Structure 1
């Protein structure tokens, strides 16, 4: 990744977890750790003082959870990108994170490469979701026998749900054995039918209408 060095804040109540992340990032010149916090109030205060570009947040922080703390931090620092680093693989937590504008969701059981990929995505304002959770969403899409909603065809709805699950056009094309151009066409038609302007609007629509269920 080229460009300016991204300032990273770590927030986890386990000292060893923070040490492990710091050690992982020490060899990555594109990132520098500027602050560490062990609980939510401390994280919010340090974010205001240090103004990081990216915050890696544990969900189970003492005080408010990592999602609520992330929302509070983003209210003060709108450009801040938050990556949730958690043990929780429940989709209800993922949906809560998506609604809060969290850009990354990585499980602590994932390979360390996943956290680096999430940080790289956050650095360019792109979403990253743990593959384990993404595959759960994909399985639901494949098994979905519900009638089309919003005037969408089944293929359009499948693509919409995969996008909301964090998949890129190329990944969707590979999963559905279609071309990237076909994915883009279905995506554009779906967004036109649903009267949505951006991918963020699309994600909110999916969550609001329960297409990804808690």
Structure 2
């Protein structure tokens, strides 16, 4: 079993303690560092080079998108998973644009958090439903009625995901770019109101789409 090395970044000691205790229940997780602010996070992450950084957005500077961008500049292989209470455009968009692999809210169930950490380590995008809705609203034409019906292409992509294909393998099979696959997955998550690919496959099976 591969052990995932994690760093937790939050300016509240109680939150860090809670996350450390919760994540520590998983045999494949190892907390290798923590930080209370952006500057400390940069130092810790550069020193220990974890697989995944779980970070709040509003921290002693640098914070938000600026912190995410700096983390990825200094340790390009790290995956940054946002874990916060904020899901407004002003919070979500800069974080995603800066390169966050996922964005969860702190009220997410613990199993969802565990799944998100593992997915992030694999390079898969994970979003809370409300966050997916924010992103979808940015690409949907103004005043367009929301549609919850998956397109033929989205079902095609989801069927490949259900067979265990990675984003890269899906892109290759359908002769499209990996970025296009990720965009379709974001739309799927928003339409099905799910946070990640595993939940999307489950929801699609329950609705008879696959």
TM superposition score normalised by structure 1 = 0.67
Gaps of 5+ in 1: 147-153, 159-174, 185-190, 207-214
2:68–2:95 contact (8 Å) kept in structure 1: no
Aligned partner of residue 176 in structure 1, secondary structure = coil
Q: Write out aligned runs for 1:29-178 (5 A).
A: 29-135=27-133, 145=143, 175-176=148-149
CA separation of 1:104 and 1:140: change in aligned 2, threshold 3 A = closer
Post-superposition offset of 1:112: 2.5
Q: Distance in 1 between matches of 2:132 and 2:102?
A: 12
CA RMSD of aligned residues (A): 3.2
1:83–1:102 contact (8 Å) kept in structure 2: yes
Aligned pairs, number:
167
Post-superposition offset of 1:176: 1.3
After alignment, is 91-100 or 24-33 more displaced? 91-100
The one of 181, 184, 197 equivalent to 2:156 is 181
CA separation of 1:127 and 1:26: change in aligned 2, threshold 3 A = same
1:104–1:129 contact (8 Å) kept in structure 2: yes
Gaps of 5+ in 2: 160-170, 187-210
1:66–1:84 contact (8 Å) kept in structure 2: no
Structure of higher CA gyration radius: 1
